[in-house]
Amino acid sequence: MKRSEVDIKKLSPMMVQYMEIKEQYKEEILFYRVGDFYELFFEDGELASRELELTLTGKNAGLEERVPMCGVPFHSVKPYVEKLVNKGYKVAICEQLEDAKDNKKMVKRGVTQVISKGTVVDLELLNEHDNHFIASIEDFTYIYTICYADISTGSIYVSILPHQKEKLISTLLNLGILEVVLKNKEDYNLIATLKGSYGIEVSICEEELEGKYTAIYDSLEEEHYIHAIKHLLYYLVVKELKDLSHMKPAEVIIPDDYLMMDVHTVRNLELIETLRLKERTYSLIWLLDKTKTSMGSRKLKYWLMNPLKNKEKIIERYNKIEKLNSEFILKDTLRNSLYQIYDIERLCGKITCGTLNGRDLLQLKISLKELPTIKEIMEQLHFKETIKTHENIYNLLEQAIYENPPVTIKEGYLIKDGYNKELDELKSIRSGGKEFIASFEAKLKEETGIKNLKVGFNKVFGYYIEITKGQLGNVPETLHWERRQTLTGCERYISPELKEKEAMILNAEEKIIDMEYKLFCEIKETIKKELLELKDTANQIALLDAITSLAVVAEEYHFVRPELNETHFIDIKNGRHPVIEKVSNFEYVKNDCVMDSSINTLLITGPNMSGKSTFMRQLAIIVILAQMGSFVPADKANLPIIDKIFTRIGASDDLVSGESTFMVEMKEAKNAICNATEDSLILFDELGRGTATYDGMSLAESILEYVSKNIRCKTLFSTHYHEITKLEHKIPSIKNIHVSAVEENGTLTFLHKMKNGAVDKSYGIHVAKLAGLPEEVIKKAEEILKEHENEKAKEPKKEKQIQFTMDLEDKPKDDMKEKIKKIDPLHMTPMDALNFVYELKEEIKNR
């Protein structure tokens, strides 16, 4: 049964309400709160039952046929929502906005939040190491403007990109964008690529938000930025019902301020995940991340993905690392304090997004407790940054929030004793009903003088005052007691005060929960007033944690402070690949990399598996580390400021778009050639191997020559085409180097050491032997190799013979030439022509 097929007039009142709400959220899966369950109906119910593996049942809705329905308990809804969102669906949460006990009519309901891939704010559903970005893209035909935000942290950024789809997609992938908002569906190719190839959710929204949250973009003058921000804000605020009062002013990102790396470079260098398993473990960020906070971890990743080009800012980070490692006692104390700090950024997000609970406030209090210590350490280190300690918020939380609050905020036991007098009284009544009865009874005996007066309780009449009939005359009329029950020997009364206390006692639990929730909301609003200052503090903590992590890495792995030059000079002594060095079971072989201003290209030859690719990656990683402000894995490093890094490493088919290995190679090569500058770094690993030998060799040589002569940037070019090594003599800026290996008694040993000059042998069969191929295969390959080598050895003789023959034929008095000149093809029959050709052939054969 479909929703569109139903006659709404026949539905029950509750289902009519559902239909009206669902009409406003057609694209979303609507979780409709009914008591202790969220229920899903019609197409939503059928889809959810299939995707979440729930039982599809039916519900009586006033129709002859039961409507399709499935449901989940409200207290365990998170994993179901997470599963749907991860599959690309949007979820609308419809809550009961009134208490059913207080309303005899239909309970008012409404959607309180819409959750999509890019707008999850629940900490349990987020990766602590990564930002959770949603982006809007404005296409101005000559540029793209991209605005991206992480509403869980309150960060928002805006940038202008060239009108190149490859650049746009590369930026989205590097940022880890989960959802993109476009203004229309016109760019079908872009939508198909984002959704089909990369799993990025695409939403369409045409409008821009006016007159709200203007503080986010008030300081900006560029209209392109403002339009992009307003576009994203409309989607978040109107479409997804987000409160963005915690958002910081937008930060403008100028791409030219940072070292540019496309998505291929990030993947090939395994900066944030490994190529094979797509996991963080054994990536470069895995090695670098010694942070103690989630905020610091995200900041460190941001630095890695956005290395600086500003020399002063880079040196400032070097100085801090040096200072921290020289003050190692302070550094250890600082790390201990940082370890106590929770994710303040995302806690601030929860304060405005309506998902805050008592445990979140407890985490905030624990975090704030460490700020005075951190502030003092920063002053001792003479860091210019300052941290506000927020004593007023800490004191408020210390006075108000229990040390072990419940998960939800409507269970009670949130607020400490002594924080609110009225709440304390309610708690006293709840825990001490008997004590109240005894004290109230004693009070009445004293006021009336009736010594046998009793205060009791039964389920029918509740609390009562019992007076024996002999004492009835002693009850003062001014007390205004009301007779409630007559018994044989006594009368039972109630008084206004007793009735009031009775209501308080019987309803104390419910009132306590309501009052604690009210007080909790008041505390939340108080904190909300300092939200932007708290976020500034969180940012300072993140910066401090990230730089401390780099200091720990520098000390633990023996990194050195690099020098920066402006003369295009690379001088690395005993450089290492830090991740391979960390995970290898063998001693890592260090290598120098020296390229003075006269050398632009190192042409690398050597056997497979000898370490050519590692050497190339090693240089790129050292450059990236140096420009993100980190020390580097070497004994010494003197480096220029690089503006862009391009890599073509490894073979990979793009199966999604149907592109072959060679096509991918050529596209990546084209990207480098068309975008590199004199200040760039290019890594080409065995370029051209994806096609036929001579095609590949020709292209490789041509590309290398073009890069060396026209771009003149620093380039590492590894190859098995040994013929290319002759370019060293043709182009002075190219230098041959090779990875050494020793062959002894048919056994190949890799030395992994770079040496000057070229090699003319690849040792491919030896590598196959090391890989464990069957002996029969190895022997056959050696036989075939010898055959090819023998054939090749004969080739020069053939050329000489051909040359000799040609010399004979070129004699001016050659009789064959004379015969050919004498014939008249126009007057020959086909048979005559055939005979003539046959005679010529026989004569050549005889010669």
Q: Which residue has the tokens 């990236």?
A: 624
The average pLDDT across 16-36 equals 93
Q: Are 158 and 240 in contact (CB under 8 A)?
A: no
pLDDT digits (tens, 9 = 90+) for 38-73: 999 999 999 999 999 999 999 988 888 899 999 999
For residue 719, what pLDDT band results from cuts at 50, 70 and 90?
confident
- CA angle, residues 89, 91, 97, in degrees to nearest 5: 175
Backbone angles phi, psi at 202, to 5 degrees: -120, 125
Long-range contacts of 46-55 (CB under 8 A, 24+ apart): 47/89, 48/80, 48/84, 51/83, 51/84, 51/87, 51/89, 52/80, 52/83, 52/84
Task: Map 626-637 to HEC letters.
Answer: HHCCCCECCCEE
pLDDT digits (tens, 9 = 90+) for 83-103: 999 999 999 999 998 876 666
Distance CA 423, CA 427 (A): 6
Residue 305 has pLDDT above 80, yes or no: yes
Q: Are 109 and 33 in contact (CB under 8 A)?
A: yes
Distance CA 761, CA 606 (A): 7
pLDDT of residue 511: 85
CB-side neighbour CA atoms (13 Å) of 725: 18
Q: Are 29 and 48 in contact (CB under 8 A)?
A: yes
Q: Which of 697, 633, 630 is nearest to 321 (CA)?
A: 630
Tokens of 292: 């103690």
pLDDT of residue 796: 54
Task: Map 330-380 to HEC letters.
Answer: HHHHHHHHHHCCCCHHHHHHHHHHCCCCHHHHHHHHHHHHCHHHHHHHHHH
pLDDT of residue 746: 64
For residue 808, what pLDDT band results from cuts at 50, 70 and 90?
very low
CB-side neighbour CA atoms (13 Å) of 498: 27
Among residues of the chain, what percentage have pLDDT more than 90? 57
Mean pLDDT for the chain overall? 87
- Picking from 1-5, 674-678, 793-797, which range would have the lowest pLDDT averaged per residue? 793-797
pLDDT of residue 553: 98
pLDDT digits (tens, 9 = 90+) for 648-675: 886 554 434 446 677 878 888 888 999 9
- Picking from 84-93, 107-116, 561-570, 826-835, which range would have the lowest pLDDT averaged per residue? 826-835
For residue 585, what pLDDT band results from cuts at 50, 70 and 90?
confident
DSSP letter for 407, please: S
For residue 801, what pLDDT band results from cuts at 50, 70 and 90?
very low
- Residue 11, helix vs strand vs coil: coil
pLDDT digits (tens, 9 = 90+) for 179-214: 999 999 888 999 999 998 889 999 999 999 999 999
Residue 441 has pLDDT above 50, yes or no: yes
Q: Are 748 and 607 in contact (CB under 8 A)?
A: yes
Distance CA 442, CA 454 (A): 9
Backbone angles phi, psi at 65, to 5 degrees: -100, 140
Residue 576 has pLDDT above 90, yes or no: yes
Residue 304 has pLDDT above 90, yes or no: yes
Residues 6+ apart with CB under 8 A from 545: 291, 292, 293, 295, 296, 297, 299, 300, 338
Residues 6+ apart with CB under 8 A from 657: 193, 197
Longest distance between any two alpha carbons in the chain, whole Å? 162
Torsion of CA 649, 653, 659, 661, to 10 degrees: 50
Q: Are 545 and 463 in contact (CB under 8 A)?
A: no
Residue 608 has pLDDT above 90, yes or no: no
pLDDT of residue 795: 58
What is the model's pTM?
A: 0.83
- Residue 415, helix vs strand vs coil: strand
- Picking from 224-228, 411-415, 607-611, 615-619, which range would have the lowest pLDDT averaged per residue? 607-611
Residue 830 has pLDDT above 80, yes or no: no
pLDDT of residue 502: 77
pLDDT digits (tens, 9 = 90+) for 332-362: 999 999 999 999 999 998 888 777 899 999 9
The average pLDDT across 435-442 equals 81
Q: Are 259 and 627 in contact (CB under 8 A)?
A: yes
Backbone angles phi, psi at 205, to 5 degrees: -155, 125
pLDDT of residue 662: 77
pLDDT digits (tens, 9 = 90+) for 452-493: 899 888 777 788 899 998 888 888 877 778 888 888 889 998
Q: Which residue has the tokens 């309803």?
A: 507
Distance CA 52, CA 79 (A): 10
Residue 291 has pLDDT above 50, yes or no: yes
Residue 802 has pLDDT above 50, yes or no: no
pLDDT of residue 696: 79
Distance CA 101, CA 107 (A): 9
For residue 769, what pLDDT band results from cuts at 50, 70 and 90?
confident
Q: Which of 186, 225, 215 is nearest to 202 (CA)?
A: 186
Q: Are 504 and 220 in contact (CB under 8 A)?
A: no
